[in-house]
Structure 1
Amino acid sequence: MSGGDHTDVEKGLDPLAGVAVADPGVYAGEHDSALPSDGAWARFDAYNKKLERKLGIESRGIERVPESARPDKHLWGNTMIWLSANTVLPTFGIGILGPLLFYMGLGDSMLTILFFNLVTACIPAYMSTFGPALGLRQMTSSRFSWGFYGAKFVALLNCIACVGWSIINTIAGAQTLEAVAEYKISAAAGVVIIALVTLVLGLFGYKLVHRFERFAWIPSLVSFLVLLGVSAKHLVNVPMPVGRAEAASVLSFGGVIFGFAVGWSSLSSDYNVYMPAESNKWKVFMWTYIGLIFPLVLVQWLGAAVGAAAMVNTDWMAAYTANELGGLLHAVLVPAIGGGGKFFMVILVLSVVANNIINVYSYGLSLSVISIYLAAVPRLVWPCVITAIYIPLAIVGANHFAATLEDFMNVLGYWLAIYCTVVLEEHFIFRKGDHANYNAAETWNRKSLLPVGYAAAASMCFGAAGAAVGMAQVWWTGPIGKAVGGPYGGDLGFELAGAFTAVTFPIFRYFERKYIR
């Protein structure tokens, strides 16, 4: 800490914001959901915040950040955090699925990557505008559309998603680390190493996350450029299939791409709540969009190119068949540049941390929305909890990266299509697209002034029905999914989940506002 930070701590202030930690009224009992202003819980919370300040951990939780506590005026920081979070090994892993899992050609893989990402990245980019405008984390601002209790449910789903993301990312890194060590260590050891590095960085919150993500993309970018250089002479354009089978592959691969990109929507405003309320929302949108779209498209294109080349390169395919993502990277890099290839593989392993740290940080925030008493638990506990949960699960799935990734991304896409549709329709239809209509400072924690949530719950049921009839998974293929893709199945789950929700939510919300007020 600097000398100024020490002064803030001595005054009992948040070392990040330089203002009183507690939002006025949060612990004064004037809100519908608040810890008692005195008694054991209030004392416990005070001790927690004192401990967190001494450790340099961000003390503020889901409380609204007042306008006087917004020191982060660098809107380009939105680009840096998402650039680092997506210039990572799992993004490359998404790209290889086009040729190697869905048997697509290089051309149609790249076109699917481009168009699905161009559209999907708009969703988390726009969601990020809620952070500066409302001063609230993403799950907290969900109360304005999902209701006070409905937001608890979506926060629970987001906690599950954070665990799932962490598992997928850690499996990708563990497979690669195992290959670097020439399989002298187990994937389980790789999982533990990556998880512990993530844990150390994820403990300290907003400020350290931004500092780390500002530069983490640079070594990852260099590593991907090296990978492109050594693989370039082997790249080929695998012919594009035609017919219903190809349509099914495009839809299913597109669903995976959608799930990966839209996954940031449930936490995108967690990382800019300290930016000024008067920040131009279109600048916030564009800085975030830039940070998302470039790595999503370019890194996935590289993955698709390497995956397509593996379809005709027997050595690469043998390595992928035996050891999936880690084996493929080893087969591409090590024969070409020897020890240098292993060095760049290690850099790509460490890139996983830049993605996982987002999930570890947001997990604790989502838990705090579920219960005010969970919010009173010391911040440093929750990164330890999520780490303890995902380590054994990642170890179990360590040898099944592609299948786990496909299943998780599709399911993630289903529920996030519903979640985002409700939030955006509430914003544009019922609040006229104006963040000022939320009156966030007065209403964010008063359930009597928030929606009941019946409309969101009812439309979610319809959205789930849409996902069920449109999905095409190993464990279930809906009638519409089967009709589109024939025996192969074409996944229309997220499209129909969003469409069913979009049609029903305005109707339910109209009657909710009219009769329940």
Structure 2
Amino acid sequence: MERKQDSMRDDSHMDSEDSRYHLGFLRRTTQLLSRYGIETHGIVPVPAEERLETRWYQLFFVWFSSCMNLLTFSTGAAGPAFFSLGVRDSIAIIVIVDLVCCLLPGFFAIFGPKLGMRAMVQARFSWGYFGAIIPTILNVFSSEGFLILNCIIGGQTIASLSSQLDDTLGIVILAIVSLVITFCGYRVIHWYESVAWIPNVIAFIVMLAVGYPQLSENLSAPAPPATLANVMSFASFLTSNIIGWCPMIPDYGVYHSPDASSARIFIYTYLGFFVSNVTSQALGAAFAAAAPSVPAWNAGFDNSSSVGGLLHSCKVVSCRAS
């Protein structure tokens, strides 16, 4: 009996040592990863003493970079391409919708620094512990759709650069690069987003410069009258593009200091969304409306199915013509 008890004590001691070793290993690994800026914090609210970031301009650039891209460009292009709207009507709808809808992301951004809590955790206070599963699942589907569209459009753009690449390979390349960045976490993403807008803005400026003659000619071209159904459909499409960000917006401010005024957080976020969305979407609408009258652009656009091809053909063909 005593031998049996001693054996049980030895087994318990060994299990305790193994558990302590694994916990120590995990703790050391976590400390190592956090030292290099990798995100190690889970869904537990970030304590106030760790919310020390005071570079509030990051809340502008993280959303300016996120929306100053091809996906937002393609959202604006949908007006002429899919809803049969003229460029003037499309841009007017874009400005009005963005003015109103960007208020929501600005409001949701306040909760990040103030609570230090991820958005999906915040949902538990209004939906309940198990009820929060519903908006969480919906958010997963919404995010997956966003990622799929990003990969497709980005893959098309990469594929248009070389005949050796196809859309599938371009999608794989973009997906892998995006996956690597997501593992880096909060601080690295904020640093990345503070510079990621630069090549996108340069590309749009070049595209606008070389395509301006065709765009100016298209402005005077007659456009079909806008119907209420098309206007409402396009407005709804634009709205979904913006409010789809709301379930994740607080997550990008959980390490920022809660000392900032709510108005300051709101303004930075609102401007980040509004400036980037209006600019990208208006450019998309302008180029999509002009594409049918420019054969080379229309070929790159591939019957409104390849925004990446449109971007590439606009710059390459226009540069050759000049």
User: Normalising by the residue count of structure 1, what TM-score does the alignment of the two structures yield?
Assistant: 0.55
Letter in 1 for 2:262: K
Counterpart for residue 133 of structure 2: 152
Is 1:253 aligned with 2:231? no
Is 1:331 aligned with 2:298? no
Distance across 2 between alignment mates of 1:69 and 1:242? 56
Q: Is the 8 A contact 2:63 2:272 kept in 1?
A: yes
Identify which of 207, 218, 232 aligns with 2:198.
218
> Percent of counterpart pairs with the same letter?
34
* Larger CA Rg, structure 1 vs 2: 2
Distance across 1 between alignment mates of 2:23 and 2:244? 31
Alignment of 1:311-322 (within 5 A): 311-321=292-302
Q: Is the 8 A contact 1:108 1:240 kept in 2?
A: no
Q: Cα deviations across residues 16-44 of structure 1 (Å, max 9, x unaligned)?
A: xxxxxxxxxxxxxxxxxxxxxx9999987
Q: Report the Cα offset of residue 279 of structure 1.
A: 1.8
Letter in 1 for 2:82: L
Provide structure 2 residue ranges, at least 5 long, that are not aligned to the other structure: 1-15
Letter in 2 for 1:332: C
Counterpart for residue 268 of structure 2: 287
Identify which of 190, 193, 211 aligns with 1:231.
211
Distance across 2 between alignment mates of 1:207 and 1:45? 25
Aligned length: 298
Alignment of 1:293-304 (within 5 A): 293-304=274-285
Q: Report the Cα offset of residue 249 of structure 1.
A: 0.9
Q: Report the Cα offset of residue 331 of structure 1.
A: 1.9
More divergent stretch after superposition (320-329 vs 43-52):
43-52
Distance across 2 between alignment mates of 1:108 and 1:40? 68
Q: Cα deviations across residues 308-346 of structure 1 (Å, max 9, x unaligned)?
A: 1113223322332266212212221112236xxxxxxxx
Bigger relative CO (Cα 8 Å, ≥ 6 apart): 2
Q: Is the 8 A contact 2:52 2:257 kept in 1?
A: yes
Is 1:84 aligned with 2:49? no
Distance across 2 between alignment mates of 1:227 and 1:41? 59
Distance across 1 between alignment mates of 2:127 and 2:310? 43
Provide structure 1 residue ranges, at least 5 long, that are not aligned to the other structure: 1-37, 339-517
Letter in 2 for 1:263: G
Identify which of 178, 189, 196 aligns with 1:198.
178
Q: Report the Cα offset of residue 53 of structure 1.
A: 2.8
Distance across 2 between alignment mates of 1:120 and 1:333? 32
Counterpart for residue 99 of structure 2: 118
Counterpart for residue 8 of structure 2: none
Q: Cα deviations across residues 172-191 of structure 1 (Å, max 9, x unaligned)?
A: 01111111113x22211101
Distance across 2 between alignment mates of 1:145 and 1:42? 38
Distance across 1 between alignment mates of 2:25 and 2:39? 14
Q: Report the Cα offset of residue 66 of structure 1.
A: 1.1
Counterpart for residue 32 of structure 2: 54
Distance across 1 between alignment mates of 2:147 and 2:187? 21
Q: Report the Cα offset of residue 49 of structure 1.
A: 4.9
Distance 1:60 1:43, change over 3 A: farther
Q: Is the 8 A contact 2:68 2:280 kept in 1?
A: yes
- Aligned residue for 1:180, secondary structure, equals coil
Distance 1:206 1:116, change over 3 A: same
Q: Report the Cα offset of residue 70 of structure 1.
A: 1.1
Q: Over aligned residues, Cα RMSD in angstroms?
A: 2.1
Letter in 1 for 2:312: H
